Amino acid sequence: MDHASKVRTCFWFEKGGVDAAEEYVSLLPNSKIDAVRDSGRPDDPMIVEFTLAGAPMMILTAGPHYELTPAASISVLTENQEETDRLWAALTEKGGEARRCGWLVDRFGVSWQIVPKRLPDLLAHTDATIVQRVSEAMMQMGKIDIAALEAAAKVPTHG
């Protein structure tokens, strides 16, 4: 067994960990299922180790003792609006739920932040009024709209 990473993120699932991991690795490049350990439960394996966009992850399917919350989420920095739209659609379909400011909860109950790289760039601007306008625009959004953020960042013209 390869233990390339000393640290990995683990999510506790009541059931369906393999289904979730398979869906997740289909969404991002440099992703794969690394190992599935059934621990005597072949119908719903207990441990799924996977790599998500190069980051090691694990799902522990161990019953209803704990619930997933937004206190732990998967944050994805997207390259552009196309990638943002694709991930947002894939994660909210089949029972996922859109939230505010780029957050969503997928059909398995995992919280995600789908954040275009342009958002943190704009929020790091040296002009505090631009940062404020971008922040205010973001607070009105579910899925992040890069064009709307850039429009908010523009200095208003006075005619």
What would the pLDDT profile of 85-107 be if each residue is shown by its tens digit? Answer: 999 999 999 999 999 999 999 99
Task: Give the model's pLDDT for residue 44.
Answer: 78
Does one domain contain both 127 and 151? yes
| DSSP state for residue 94 in the 8-state scheme | G
Domain boundary among 19, 34, 67: 67
Name the residue with higher pLDDT: 42 or 10. Answer: 10
51-55, 117-121, 155-159: the lowest-pLDDT one:
155-159
Task: Give the model's pLDDT for residue 51.
Answer: 97
Domain boundary among 28, 49, 67: 67
**Domain of 13?**
1-67
Task: Give the model's pLDDT for residue 5.
Answer: 75
- Across the chain, mean pLDDT equals 93
Give 9's pLDDT tier (boundaries 50, 70, 90): very high
Does one domain contain both 62 and 74? no
Does one domain contain both 97 and 153? yes
Name the residue with higher pLDDT: 16 or 6. Answer: 16
How many domains is the chain built from? 2
Name the residue with higher pLDDT: 37 or 43. Answer: 37
Distances, alpha carbon 10 to alpha carbons 48, 87, 102, 118, 158, in Å: 10, 21, 22, 28, 52
Does one domain contain both 75 and 62? no
User: What CATH code is carried by the domain that includes residue 114?
Assistant: 3.10.180.10
Does one domain contain both 87 and 139? yes
Does one domain contain both 91 and 24? no
Does one domain contain both 113 and 56? no
The DSSP result for 6-66, as a single string, is: S--EEEEESS-HHHHHHHHHHHSSS-EEEEEE-TT-TTS-SEEEEEETTEEEEEEE--TTS
Task: Give the model's pLDDT for residue 42.
Answer: 63
Does one domain contain both 157 and 101? yes
Does one domain contain both 112 and 156? yes
What is the number of other CB atoms lying within 10 angstroms of the CB of residue 69? 11
Does one domain contain both 1 and 51? yes
Does one domain contain both 12 and 46? yes
Task: Give the model's pLDDT for residue 159.
Answer: 52
